[in-house]
């Protein structure tokens, strides 16, 4: 690593014959020479042995930590893990799974994927990979994934335990490219109103969204709810392509500007698929980066309105600088600005990452999530949309046109503790595994499930009882009632996910999502 990091420096060591000790000739050096000499001195003279690679990596991280909150360094392994969810595919066996009682439980094989092709089904338990036990041995999820994944075309032998079958089953699976989708749901939420939820902005996001738009239009979509809640962002290119679908050719989407990066504009390259129909964008405090670009473009161009809460405020342009070993610096070089000129990035103190990390917590304690009046906006933060000249506000993040407070009573402390201990997810997975066949037989139609299915009280009581063993108890009867009510909704959504898919999960969840329901109200009543 030293060879390419310090190729520009001039540093030399002299070994004296008398003392056989190293001396570093220090002169009027440039900062990089000084850094290089320090690194050489430490690796050659320090009292104990040091890991040279780690030493340099820590130095890089130390430099970047003194800058903005998002400039960062990642090892080759970390870089691959960060990029994989956005890159459209990975090589593997093609199963969605969860760990239950230290055993890999298949939630769903990927449609037409390698595992489905050889006969692996939902509910199967994979207990060994190439004769190496992965069940009951306390193996980490990361280690299990490492064993399951591998180059396309290679094979892996999986030992499977299946409910109702005495003997273990052996499947030989040929690894292949497994698609990674970024769209969570797309369906008609009401007659004439389509709904699309995007989880991130990856290489395939534009294609996923346009296919969903075309499909929903065939089902009679006149208005669209575009849900970007909890969307942490992704690739700028994907954001620009998707924003383009709501705009007319030539409309400004976003521009960037920085000290060493002159202004660069991103405009709609063609008339979009949904340039005329009504659109409502949903946001919350976890909507960030590329999702804020799309929200800001639609709002500033008066193509639609934003419903929800102020977004995160991550508007820094980062350039990846990749080293030969695959490690990478992501260096901030500019800021993102919406078409009206608002800087998306919220204020920060250089080098104070803790303060930045606590920003959402401070916003919550200040009352911003629950009370619109707690947000004080000065006239200096006023901007105007480009067509209707409506007032919008800067200061970091995208302010919604229609504020929806967070319902803090719904998600109780007791439920948070049950979820943190994985009691809820483990009980739901065991229940679904035990009743999968009868659930699929009874509810062949999702609409019937949505309208009539009720979570058995025994499942909820079992979760409460398990929590009691871990000393998780309600402070009063009101908290117990609310916890059970929330559990019933969550468990119904989880059953829908495992019997069908994520789209059905959100169809259950959205019926009580205040932000979604406010958007439906706005489109159906106009207010």
> What string of H, E and C letters represents the secondary structure of 33-83?
HHHHHHHHHHHHHCCCCCCHHHHHHHHHHHHHHCCCCCCEEECHHHHHHHH
Which DSSP string do the residues of 309-356 spell out, in sequence order? S------EEEEEEE-TTS-EEEEEEEEEE-TTS-B-SPP--TT-HHHH
Residue 511, SS3? helix
Residues 300, 346, 498, 503: which is the catalytic one?
300
- What pLDDT is attached to residue 28? 56
Q: Cα–Cα distance between 519 and 527 in angstroms, integer?
A: 9
- What pLDDT is attached to residue 20? 38
| pLDDT, tens digit, 9 for 90 and up, residues 302-359 | 999 999 999 999 999 999 999 999 999 999 999 999 999 999 999 999 888 989 989 9
- What pLDDT is attached to residue 253? 99
Domain span(s) for CATH 2.30.42.10 in the chain: 89-179
- What pLDDT is attached to residue 13? 34
Residues 314, 346, 484, 492: which is the catalytic one?
314
| DSSP type of residue 245 | T
CB 332 within 8 A of CB 368: no
Query: What is the CATH superfamily name and number for domain 89-179?
Result: PDZ domain (2.30.42.10)
| pLDDT, tens digit, 9 for 90 and up, residues 190-218 | 999 999 999 999 999 999 999 999 999 99
The token duo for 150 is 């591998």
457 is catalytic: no
The token duo for 135 is 């069940």
The secondary structure element, H or E, covering residue 150 is: none
Q: Walk along the chain (527 residues) in steps of 10 and give the mean pLDDT of each run.
A: 38 34 50 87 92 91 93 91 80 89 88 90 92 89 89 94 90 91 96 98 96 98 98 95 98 96 96 96 97 98 98 94 94 96 94 90 92 83 96 95 93 92 90 92 94 96 95 95 96 94 96 97 94
| pLDDT, tens digit, 9 for 90 and up, residues 88-128 | 778 899 998 888 888 899 988 888 889 999 999 988 999 99
- What pLDDT is attached to residue 427? 92
The secondary structure element, H or E, covering residue 403 is: strand 402-403
- What pLDDT is attached to residue 443? 95
CATH class of the domain comprising 183-317+334-349+359-406: alpha beta
The token duo for 388 is 């209707």
Q: Cα–Cα distance between 464 and 101 in angstroms, integer?
A: 18
Which DSSP string do the residues of 467-488 spell out, in sequence order? HHHTT---SSHHHHHHHHHHHH
227 is catalytic: no
Domain span(s) for CATH 3.90.226.10 in the chain: 183-317+334-349+359-406
Residues 205, 289, 428, 503: which is the catalytic one?
289
Q: Cβ contacts of residue 293 below 8 Å, gap of 6+?
A: 236, 239, 240, 243, 253, 254, 336, 338, 344
- What pLDDT is attached to residue 29? 61
314 is catalytic: yes
């Amino acid at each position: 690593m030293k060879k390419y990091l310090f190729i520009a420096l001039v540093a030399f060591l002299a070994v004296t014959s008398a003392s056989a000790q190293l001396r570093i000739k220090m002169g009027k050096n440039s900062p990089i020479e000084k850094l290089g000499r320090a690194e050489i001195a430490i690796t050659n003279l320090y009292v104990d042995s040091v890991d040279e690679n780690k030493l340099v990596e820590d130095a890089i991280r130390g430099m970047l930590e003194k800058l903005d909150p998002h400039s960062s360094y990642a090892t080759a392994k970390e870089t691959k893990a960060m990029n994989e969810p956005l890159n459209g595919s990975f090589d593997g066996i093609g199963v969605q799974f969860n760990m239950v009682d230290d055993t890999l439980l298949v939630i769903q094989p990927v449609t037409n994927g390698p595992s489905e092709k050889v006969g692996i089904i939902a509910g199967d338990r994979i207990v060994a990979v190439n004769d190496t036990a992965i069940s009951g041995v306390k193996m980490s999820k990361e280690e299990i994934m490492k064993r399951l994944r591998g180059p396309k075309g290679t094979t892996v032998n999986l030992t499977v335990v299946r409910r109702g079958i005495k003997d273990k089953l052996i499947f030989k699976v040929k690894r292949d490219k497994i698609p990674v989708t970024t769209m969570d749901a797309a369906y008609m939420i009401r007659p004439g109103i389509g709904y699309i939820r995007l989880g991130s902005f990856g290489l395939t996001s534009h294609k996923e969204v346009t296919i969903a738009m075309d499909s929903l239009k065939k089902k009679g979509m006149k208005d669209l709810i575009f849900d970007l809640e909890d969307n942490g962002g992704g690739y700028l290119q994907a954001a620009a392509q998707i924003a383009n679908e709501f705009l007319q050719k030539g409309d400004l989407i976003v521009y960037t500007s920085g000290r060493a990066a002159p202004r660069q504009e991103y405009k709609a390259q063609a008339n979009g698929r949904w340039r005329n129909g009504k659109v409502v964008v949903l946001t919350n405090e976890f909507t960030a980066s590329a999702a804020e670009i799309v929200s800001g473009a639609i709002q500033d161009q008066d193509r639609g309105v934003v419903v929800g809460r102020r977004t995160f405020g991550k508007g820094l342009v980062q350039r990846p600088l990749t080293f030969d070993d695959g490690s990478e610096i992501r260096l901030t070089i500019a800021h993102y600005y919406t078409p009206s000129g608002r800087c998306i990035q919220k204020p920060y103190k250089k080098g104070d990452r803790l303060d930045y990390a606590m920003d959402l917590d401070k916003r919550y304690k200040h009352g911003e999530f629950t009370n619109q009046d707690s947000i004080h906006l000065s006239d200096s933060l006023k901007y105007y949309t480009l067509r209707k000249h409506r007032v919008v506000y800067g200061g970091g993040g995208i302010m919604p046109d229609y504020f929806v407070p967070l319902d803090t009573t719904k998600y109780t402390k007791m439920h948070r503790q049950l979820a943190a201990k994985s009691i809820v997810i483990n009980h739901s997975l065991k229940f679904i595994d035990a009743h999968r066949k009868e659930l699929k037989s009874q509810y062949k139609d999702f609409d019937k499930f949505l309208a009539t299915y009720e979570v058995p009280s025994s499942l909820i009581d079992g979760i409460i009882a398990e929590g009691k063993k871990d000393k998780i108890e309600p402070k009063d009867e009101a908290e117990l009632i609310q916890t059970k009510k929330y559990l019933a909704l969550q468990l119904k959504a989880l059953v829908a996910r495992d019997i069908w898919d994520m789209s059905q999960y959100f169809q259950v969840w959205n019926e009580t999502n205040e932000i979604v329901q406010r958007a439906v109200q706005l489109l159906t009543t106009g207010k």
